Structure 1
Amino acid sequence: MNVVILDTGCANLNSVKSAIARHGYEPKVSRDPDVVLLADKLFLPGVGTAQAAMDQVRERELFDLIKACTQPVLGICLGMQLLGAAQRREQRRRLAGHH
């Protein structure tokens, strides 16, 4: 199984990677769309303040990548909030007439 941890720039990646590895998987850490979109399972971790995390995700231009994911995504801690923020961002665009 192809397991990927999205490198949001605001997460303790080693802890998440170790936890997944303890279950027998070898997760990749990436923010490359070619790697992320081909994952069977995607982990979206995040720690810190919401604003700092949003800034990191925005700087890395990850909102569109998160929205493009069709595989199961597990948001961990702040990662779940980032997942919700990506969806709200899309809804605001639609309400404003942008697609």
Structure 2
Amino acid sequence: MSKGTVSIWNGEQGWGVIESADTPGGCWAFYSHIWADALPELKPGHSRMIRGGYRELFVGETVDFTWEITQQDGYSYRAISVTPQREHPQWTIEDTPG
């Protein structure tokens, strides 16, 4: 896991960039990967509705994240799990069979 600082966040489009010594040039991040580890595992064939709070980042915020090497919108790294250093929103999670 790496530690970084959010340098860009586009709330309307749900993506941003995390700066870290581990990911030179920045690491692209998408809202669906924020607090991804805090959600229970989704059963095969099910879908999920999450209500009660936005998954967003804030410029200047410190986060822990895991990443992969790829090409994503001009960045060589993409976050696959992002954990902000604050409490996540109180969610209502509904899993339904597909």
- Give me the TM-score of the superposition, normalised by structure 1: 0.24
RCO comparison, higher one (Cα < 8 Å, 6+): 2
TM-score by length of 2: 0.24
Structure that is richer in helix per residue: 1
Name the one with the larger strand percent: 2
